Structure 1
């Protein structure tokens, strides 16, 4: 099995903090998700996450006007300049301070960045190979010092919150918390002096130029909108007035009257004069300037809106809310949602793949169950029936039925075709279920609780409690059914694992004794082996039939790593407290994947117990447990500096108000900053084995085999070339040409040779094919062709010949061919469904024609239809039976 899994996508999180940016064509939206950036394609309904990651959460992103360069800056001021289309990192740079605003100039030659009270303008680094020099040669090579500071502007007395460029890139506006906005020029202009726009009574959030640049709009936190124009003094004499008497003055004032709420974000689209404002109560408003006429007013959330962005045409509005992790794209003219996504705002607990592999289900402490599409990256449906945290989820092997267990004392079954909860299972007494297992047939579901020592078993058909398996002397922490349905395996904190034959006459079980509390149990795909993870970091493998231990490995050193701020021991010495909380087998059963309260996921070989790969989940220092060494300078007398509140008391009254209910707080009422810790509560392999997903603190991470390698040759010699392969194909030597194409391993060449084999020669080619080397590759090509090619009969002939000739090999080496056989099974199942739909439609048409009334000669009297199709069918069927003198009698 291949183990070269690489990070592919991030699901489960759509927005964390920072600003949202549209691409120039307005079809894609860039959203910061922790220390990464996710791109949402709003037209094709897809999303992908850029492969690079920052060391802390991203605070600001900016996209070059040409769409090539993407500049991202994290909370500590470290910047990464990347090529947006190629998804590669170009440069790393440190701005040495926290960034509050970042924007490229419309010309793209400079970008402005706000660092506290200062504003710095930098030259935009050149893109490698994107420009040409004067003599025609391509320039823009790699620069040794790509970031060059152009000019620095100082004048504000408090943090600069927003920067806005003029359309000609000569001037820019800055808005600050010091109640003023200022006008700056990029280069010294004759007769121009930096201008201060003062008059607001609270922090100025943003300032913009109008489309003709004759008007400036400023907006403040208290909801005051001022319109500025270059006017003379109202007291000046028009006849004796000089140029010095003209300056920027307030020509109009407007106010947003929002009680108990303040403005949190605003955006202005100059060509259409549309102003969008968001408030702390989840309300956003649209106004048309300069008349300040209200266009729309809508509440989209219960918490404040952090950022808003408008695309270039002014049609789509993007809103982000960090409190609930919401991302919305709204088309204000049609009043419809283009995109409406929300991630889990509490930590994930478990995940599972659907049997088809195109869906991933996640459950979290927020009581929600979400279904994610792996192809698009979007959430398809959210189930909110549970009233407390959902701890486990499991798919039935057949059908589209999902089972979940929750702390609210219920186990629920969801229909993923109609998207509804159709069954609820409860125990005789109130329990909080923490583990779940489903019989492969989908007829029995079992659940365990940390409050009770019994395993509860229900019938899915009737919803009745069938049995309570007693035997454990501690809370049941994990459950798993064998894939063949013969037995149920349970693990408990009493340091035992029990194997139950619940369908046999006797339900007694002998315990398998371990050395520590059992955390996770999983059964191999062939139902012959158990993998058990315990609290002491041990991973042991047991035989199901004999009840004896086969192998074991110590994973404490592998899973250890990462140190929390409050840890007194180093990361190397803290290994005794780390263990695997989740373990899963691959599709062929050759490897196991394990994760726990650590930043690492470990991939082990079952046969040898060797660590094959070690995947780092996150390098985000904003999370606890990601850094190996702590800086002793950050340790103060009051404790670690990262846990201290250095912001002080809020300056605004509404921010200081305590809105919690009386009596809801117990003990110490002091507020502290608590950083989430990195952990992996669940991992799962896809049914095809080409990918695996991990539920982590940052979201749902998907790792897949790198499909970008186009040329991966094997067993080549000097005579095997694309030209010689095509010559062999022209000589009609089908088998040799196919083997040569597989050796070169070029997808286009393999497809060409595969499609050129005549149908009559398929059986002979398959019979002479070296199965040990090429069977897996031929099956993969056939599965790909079946899934995407219209040559149905030819593909089915290939499948029939392969199964007939090499079926014994596929059966004897099930684990080796498990992945590719699942691909074939999935493709054939899709085709079967399509053919059944066509057959059913044809059957209904035949039944309809046979049910029509007939005349004395047996011909149809009339055909009732709404189009030409029914008339053509009936006419073709009875053309010979009717003479020229006969007429069709309509039923209209």
Structure 2
């Protein structure tokens, strides 16, 4: 079995903190998800997570104007510069302070960073092929070079916006002021302070013509500034008459009651201003008239960030407290994207039988269905009134079973997306685990309060039996893949094997040394593995009911320290054990995870640790650090555990909102740090990937490399002329790739039709896979619209011959293109069948009708249907006088 699994995608979480970004073309949205960045393709309905990871949660994101460089900075000021098309981290750098604002200039040569009260402008590192002052493609040994430092604010900088010529930029701060700065010293220009707000300024922007400045503060005040001459009455004798200054021309207010402005964005091209408030409402205004265009409530908590795409049609919102991400098209009043992750910790996950979906359940009572190909949540079930503890898919059909602490087990139809059956016990019990037999006819559930196992019939919904025998809470249930037995694990240190479908329902107890946490059957149903509280993994034979082998996983599971730990990571206090275990598809390996930052892959026969997967390196989560720093220890304890909200600069952050009489404050507020843990792991049915439900979300590790290198991505020589030149030189593969890169329909068609038929197979075999989807769509379109029918079928045959296995393994990645190709082939088949049906009787009549042909000696010769001249002369009447002429002979 292959073990080189790599991190592929992050699901279950769509937004965490920081700001959102649209790509320059407005089709992709960049969202910070903890210490990673997820890119949502809004046009193709796909998402992927960039492979790099910060050591803390990301605070700010910025894209250069061309969209190929992404600068991400975490809460401690550590920055990573990433090449977006290749998903490659280029440089690492630290700004030695918390960054509160970040913005690239319109030219892309500089970017400004707000670090506390000061602003630093840095030169943008160059990329390969880019022309710099040192020459084309110069290598930078010190890529981050500081251009200038600006000081003058007395509070943290909240936003930075550049002018369109990149000569000036605006900064807003918590000191109630905004300032106008110049990139380089300008003759006659002095940095200007825009004062007048009574509360911290959220943002400041230039208008399109740069003659107007808009500033918004938290109290809902919008000031419009214009460059006007001074009042004549205020002029002194020494002041020149042409002296000008920025002055407030108009004042507008959002008319809020107790709500406050949390974020705002301005689109200069369309003069649109959008503001988000603490009550979850956003408003859209047209400037400079301040006409309210739109208002909508999109969340139950405050809106954390807002941004507008390049065309001004889409608005993106993020709510950090609930993990919501929304993209709203205000003209049609419709959602382009509406996603939200689980609010509480994940408890379990399961793959659908086809592997196209992953189902997750969490303590927030929600069940979400995630598409593995697109990364989006398709449907959310909210019928459970309490935390959902376990989920299990039936091996046949599209039926999902879930257990919950609300005392019910529910069956879900994933074709109609409805709850069609609810199973309950005679007494109200919080169910902790669920299992379904392979036939999908019986469902079993166990509880932590009752020591019995309940069985229900899926068809009738009636309880069939109650299995008694355990002397402790039931923690895990599992049917064997052949459906012969049911295995249950309990905190009473035993595993019981139940023959539920035999006439005599017997149970065989297997004694272990500690509490049973999880068990899993091997796919051949001859062996099962058990994970216990003492960190042991034991393997048992089902037929002989005896232990085959054992593994000690305590040392492998240990790793990572909490802030309050006083021991090393290897000897840290607490139970280091695996809470979840699963077999691989071939049964040669087991995958285990628990309250650790590691997922371990073991070989069953050898008992060797094959590979360790590090789940997270985010230091904002407990249990990820290997070494603690003594500088973070104070007399009152670890610095990160001290509540410093009373020292916050903002009034709303200092207010005490705790419940009266509560010693621990408001229970709805999270003041504890999340702890790293893995609650469930599962292999995909294809065996090419596996999922892990953890603190950060749903982590997918895959053998497939989704990133496909485009050899012509950064080549500036790709032009229509160079494409035709390559075609003239008979370099067909290069010409086809260049045509796809330019994406001109006429050029693609010309290159495609010029390729000789004998070269089709070779070109398809050597074609980079990044162009495979485009070629499929083009051939399918030509099959439906073009006249080259046989040519299209030859291309289709070559594609399926050389890339069919790869497209099958990739699942839904090429689903849309394959559907288009299937429709095209079916249409060709249908058209040919219609032609055959229409001409069948005419051809049959022509072939069956006899025809008389004159012979050379003047006699008539009867010709059969198989004669070569039957088709020509079937309808001709031969005259005796013209026999010679008809035969081409002289009458003599």
Q: Is TM > 0.5 for Structure 1 vs Structure 2?
A: yes
Q: Indicate conservation of the 8 Å contact 1:228/1:251, yes or no.
A: yes
- With over 3 angstroms needed to count, the CA separation of the structure-2 counterparts of 1:515 and 1:239, relative to structure 1, is closer
2:674 corresponds, among 673, 676, 689, to: 676
Secondary structure at the aligned position of 1:558 is classed as helix
2:230 corresponds, among 226, 229, 233, to: 233
Deviation per residue, 1:853-888 (Å, 9 max, x gap): xxxxxxxxxxxxxxx999999988999999xxxxxx
C-alpha separation between the residues in 2 aligned to 1:570 and 1:36? Answer: 28
- With over 3 angstroms needed to count, the CA separation of the structure-2 counterparts of 1:372 and 1:192, relative to structure 1, is same
Secondary structure at the aligned position of 1:447 is classed as strand
1:352 paired to 2:380: no
* Paired position in structure 2 for 1:628: 626
Quote how far apart the aligned CAs of 1:82 are: 1.4
* Paired position in structure 2 for 1:639: 637
* Paired position in structure 1 for 2:860: none
* Paired position in structure 1 for 2:563: 565
- With over 3 angstroms needed to count, the CA separation of the structure-2 counterparts of 1:110 and 1:654, relative to structure 1, is closer
* Paired position in structure 2 for 1:206: 203
* Paired position in structure 2 for 1:395: 393
Structure 2 matches for 1:379-458, cutoff 5 A? 379-458=377-456
C-alpha separation between the residues in 2 aligned to 1:826 and 1:163? Answer: 41
1:8 paired to 2:8: yes
C-alpha separation between the residues in 1 aligned to 2:834 and 2:486? Answer: 60
Q: Indicate conservation of the 8 Å contact 2:474/2:491, yes or no.
A: yes
Unpaired stretches in structure 1, ≥5 consecutive residues: 712-743, 752-787, 800-818, 846-867, 883-892
* Paired position in structure 2 for 1:729: none
- With over 3 angstroms needed to count, the CA separation of the structure-2 counterparts of 1:871 and 1:53, relative to structure 1, is closer
Q: Indicate conservation of the 8 Å contact 2:263/2:276, yes or no.
A: yes
1:218 paired to 2:244: no
Secondary structure at the aligned position of 2:342 is classed as coil
Structure 2 matches for 1:535-550, cutoff 5 A? 535-550=533-548
- With over 3 angstroms needed to count, the CA separation of the structure-2 counterparts of 1:672 and 1:590, relative to structure 1, is closer
- With over 3 angstroms needed to count, the CA separation of the structure-2 counterparts of 1:830 and 1:86, relative to structure 1, is closer
- With over 3 angstroms needed to count, the CA separation of the structure-2 counterparts of 1:618 and 1:871, relative to structure 1, is closer
* Paired position in structure 1 for 2:879: none
Q: Indicate conservation of the 8 Å contact 2:387/2:405, yes or no.
A: yes
- With over 3 angstroms needed to count, the CA separation of the structure-2 counterparts of 1:264 and 1:646, relative to structure 1, is same
- With over 3 angstroms needed to count, the CA separation of the structure-2 counterparts of 1:243 and 1:30, relative to structure 1, is farther
RMSD after superposition = 3.6
Quote how far apart the aligned CAs of 1:634 are: 1.3
2:521 corresponds, among 485, 502, 523, to: 523
* Paired position in structure 2 for 1:502: 500
Quote how far apart the aligned CAs of 1:259 are: 1.3
Q: Indicate conservation of the 8 Å contact 1:133/1:139, yes or no.
A: no
Deviation per residue, 1:524-544 (Å, 9 max, x gap): 000000100000000000001
* Paired position in structure 1 for 2:316: 318
C-alpha separation between the residues in 2 aligned to 1:352 and 1:600? Answer: 20
Quote how far apart the aligned CAs of 1:231 are: 1.2
* Paired position in structure 2 for 1:582: 580
The more displaced of 110-119 and 645-654 is: 645-654
- With over 3 angstroms needed to count, the CA separation of the structure-2 counterparts of 1:312 and 1:506, relative to structure 1, is same
Q: Indicate conservation of the 8 Å contact 2:645/2:654, yes or no.
A: no
Q: Indicate conservation of the 8 Å contact 2:373/2:811, yes or no.
A: no
C-alpha separation between the residues in 2 aligned to 1:790 and 1:840? Answer: 13
1:192 corresponds, among 170, 189, 192, to: 189
Quote how far apart the aligned CAs of 1:556 are: 0.3
Quote how far apart the aligned CAs of 1:669 are: 7.0
- With over 3 angstroms needed to count, the CA separation of the structure-2 counterparts of 1:51 and 1:794, relative to structure 1, is closer
- With over 3 angstroms needed to count, the CA separation of the structure-2 counterparts of 1:163 and 1:436, relative to structure 1, is same
* Paired position in structure 2 for 1:865: none
1:334 paired to 2:328: no
Quote how far apart the aligned CAs of 1:585 are: 0.5
C-alpha separation between the residues in 2 aligned to 1:820 and 1:157? Answer: 59
Secondary structure at the aligned position of 2:572 is classed as helix
Secondary structure at the aligned position of 1:633 is classed as helix
1:595 paired to 2:593: yes
* Paired position in structure 2 for 1:255: 253
Q: Indicate conservation of the 8 Å contact 1:157/1:178, yes or no.
A: yes
Quote how far apart the aligned CAs of 1:574 are: 2.3
Secondary structure at the aligned position of 2:550 is classed as strand
* Paired position in structure 2 for 1:74: 74
* Paired position in structure 2 for 1:119: 119
Quote how far apart the aligned CAs of 1:345 are: 1.2
* Paired position in structure 2 for 1:55: 55
* Paired position in structure 2 for 1:173: 170
Q: Indicate conservation of the 8 Å contact 1:260/1:654, yes or no.
A: no
1:287 paired to 2:298: no
C-alpha separation between the residues in 2 aligned to 1:408 and 1:602? Answer: 33
1:485 corresponds, among 483, 488, 499, to: 483
Quote how far apart the aligned CAs of 1:251 are: 0.5
Q: Indicate conservation of the 8 Å contact 2:161/2:205, yes or no.
A: yes
- With over 3 angstroms needed to count, the CA separation of the structure-2 counterparts of 1:492 and 1:99, relative to structure 1, is same
1:151 paired to 2:148: yes
* Paired position in structure 2 for 1:776: none
Secondary structure at the aligned position of 2:555 is classed as helix
Q: Indicate conservation of the 8 Å contact 2:29/2:41, yes or no.
A: yes
The more displaced of 55-64 and 640-649 is: 640-649
C-alpha separation between the residues in 2 aligned to 1:368 and 1:709? Answer: 32
* Paired position in structure 2 for 1:889: none
- With over 3 angstroms needed to count, the CA separation of the structure-2 counterparts of 1:747 and 1:527, relative to structure 1, is farther
* Paired position in structure 1 for 2:791: none
1:95 paired to 2:120: no
Larger-Rg structure: 2
Deviation per residue, 1:809-854 (Å, 9 max, x gap): xxxxxxxxxx999969999x9999999999999xxx9xxxxxxxxx
Q: Indicate conservation of the 8 Å contact 2:5/2:703, yes or no.
A: yes
- With over 3 angstroms needed to count, the CA separation of the structure-2 counterparts of 1:50 and 1:870, relative to structure 1, is closer
Q: Indicate conservation of the 8 Å contact 2:658/2:666, yes or no.
A: no
Q: Indicate conservation of the 8 Å contact 1:356/1:826, yes or no.
A: no
* Paired position in structure 1 for 2:265: 267
Secondary structure at the aligned position of 2:560 is classed as coil
Structure 2 matches for 1:855-866, cutoff 5 A? none
C-alpha separation between the residues in 2 aligned to 1:672 and 1:649? Answer: 18
- With over 3 angstroms needed to count, the CA separation of the structure-2 counterparts of 1:242 and 1:541, relative to structure 1, is same
TM-score (norm 1): 0.80
Structure 2 matches for 1:676-825, cutoff 5 A? 676-707=674-705, 748=766
Q: Indicate conservation of the 8 Å contact 1:402/1:416, yes or no.
A: yes
* Paired position in structure 2 for 1:304: 302
Q: Indicate conservation of the 8 Å contact 2:646/2:655, yes or no.
A: no
C-alpha separation between the residues in 1 aligned to 2:69 and 2:37? Answer: 14
Q: Indicate conservation of the 8 Å contact 1:536/1:576, yes or no.
A: no
C-alpha separation between the residues in 1 aligned to 2:811 and 2:126? Answer: 50
1:364 paired to 2:362: yes
Deviation per residue, 1:757-800 (Å, 9 max, x gap): xxxxxxxxxxxxxxxxxxxxxxxxxxxxxxx99659998xxx9x
Quote how far apart the aligned CAs of 1:707 are: 3.5
Deviation per residue, 1:462-516 (Å, 9 max, x gap): 0001011000000000000000000000000000000001000111212000000
Q: Indicate conservation of the 8 Å contact 2:8/2:706, yes or no.
A: no
Q: Indicate conservation of the 8 Å contact 1:398/1:442, yes or no.
A: yes
- With over 3 angstroms needed to count, the CA separation of the structure-2 counterparts of 1:108 and 1:344, relative to structure 1, is same
Deviation per residue, 1:3-35 (Å, 9 max, x gap): 000000111111100011111111111110000
Q: Indicate conservation of the 8 Å contact 2:373/2:812, yes or no.
A: no
Quote how far apart the aligned CAs of 1:236 are: 3.8
Equivalent pairs, count: 761
* Paired position in structure 2 for 1:461: 459
Deviation per residue, 1:213-251 (Å, 9 max, x gap): 001111100000000011123444999983464211100
- With over 3 angstroms needed to count, the CA separation of the structure-2 counterparts of 1:822 and 1:448, relative to structure 1, is farther
Secondary structure at the aligned position of 2:131 is classed as coil
Q: Indicate conservation of the 8 Å contact 1:4/1:706, yes or no.
A: no
C-alpha separation between the residues in 1 aligned to 2:34 and 2:513? Answer: 39
